[in-house]
Structure 1
Amino acid sequence: MDNRTNFVKVENLAVGLTGDQLFKLFEPYGDILEITALSPTSSFVPWQGETSNCKPAVAQPSGASTATSSLSAAQIRNIVIGGPYSNLLGTYCTPWTIPSPGEDIPDCSICLDVLGQRSSYNIYSDQLRSLTLVDCKHTLHQSCVEKLIAQSPSQFLQCPECRKIYGTRTGTRPISGTISHTVLNISLPGHPNSRTFQLTFNFTAGIQGPEHPNPGKHYSASNFPRQAYLPDSPEGLKALHGIYLAWENRLMFTVGQSVTTLQVIYTLYNT
């Protein structure tokens, strides 16, 4: 066969791919002589995660009393929340005050014990204080919240009652993977008037990092690349953005123990 050179235009590539990643992406289809970008921008820009500034620390008042019913709202907001996760808790929580006599004291939804005893509750103590989440208004012991955060792969807080997330949740997806998508001129069942987004996830075998079960040991990546499909509709586009955001936060894949082969492999769609 005579040597021939084909010029191929490719659209809908993932945002942020490096030159090396592009060459590896197209390498299975033949020798690549050159890659040229025809447009400096992409029409698809994934949503970015949100960041929040932490509240400034405020000095604890001297001679603080355990009585909190007489505190004003401004005084409560200015109480320092200390401990190992003070920045996170200070941003998304406010100190809880014990109810007036005659009112019921609710329970912490983590340990199921009351949020505070009238005789010993101290709003200035990191060990005895309870915290109210700023948006959903659910209240938990600060010590229980700290244990919850300590068990997470990253510093974020998820309310155990309503599942609302405070902060940026990140996972343990190996950073060697790639994500991309293209638009197919076919329709998915139930979406006869929409084209189709085809997403491709690709990984190769590698070495586990410190965030994985066995740091320094190998893992395999079976049955990659893998595809997923969404309708090219307003709802499908929202889901596409959400998938890219979950990918950037390393939430979609992780290294885990196979329940069938007992080998350490990727598990799909980490939750």
Structure 2
Amino acid sequence: MYPAASFSASTCAWCSQQTSRDGLKKFCTHRVCKQCIIIDKLCQSDCPMCWYINGAQFIRDNKICSGPVLSQGHKTKSSTKEEIGDCMICLEQLGSSYHKLEVCGHVFHKVCIDQWFQSNGKQSCPSCGYVYGISKGPQPPNGRMIVKYINKPLPGFENENYGSDQPTIEIIYTFKAGLQGPLNPNPGKPYSGTTRNAYLPNNEEGKEVLRLLRKAFDDQHIFTIGRSTTSGQDNVITWNDIHHKTSIHGGPERFAYPDPTYLFRVRQELADKGYK
């Protein structure tokens, strides 16, 4: 994920979306909206800007290998009882009972790594980042993702060559009301249905984002259930950290176009969940 190109005093420094001052929380010298705050209890900072700025240096300093390619050390290392220390997820001692990941060889409590894989969506090793797969997310399973096309270009994409294609992709997400599942905050309690619209340019990059969004939707990672940031209601379907443009006109402050860096940012958000 990369920070937006610029921001003002009432704009989130990470996603560049306009919001009220009440909707912003201040960390260090950065202003970050509530939706972009890091809520992982293992993180030492709530600010995504600080993690972005310092992350690359931290990886270099600690010789951390990430992604699907492992260092030779990871391929050949074998854990012995003498090398076993603490579980890096819960920071408690592993003891004699632990789970060793098959490829990279890192070890954790079985309960901890199972919960880590499930809660993060992307089943990646917390130590080295090796991706083992993608879990189903907290999105209700009864939704539909419908794609239509509009014969009018989005602001900022008027000069694209669309050939015989219509220039704008419209995504319509629909959900019926239902009961919350085990990955939701109140399992067994009802949630209300909803319909959400989103828009993409029908160029090559927009088509690729649509393909990735389809995969994320099928894996139930586009939405979750929680409290609405606009209405304040609980037990409603909300976005799950993958930003969408829900309007055509109005710029970033209205979750709309033009926004020159949006497609780049949303691809980074999708990559963070394992969709590349």
Higher relative contact order (CA 8 A, sep 6+): 2
So what's the TM-score if we normalise by structure 1?
0.46
Q: Which of the pair has more CA radius of gyration? A: 1
So what's the TM-score if we normalise by structure 2?
0.46
Structure with higher helix content: 2
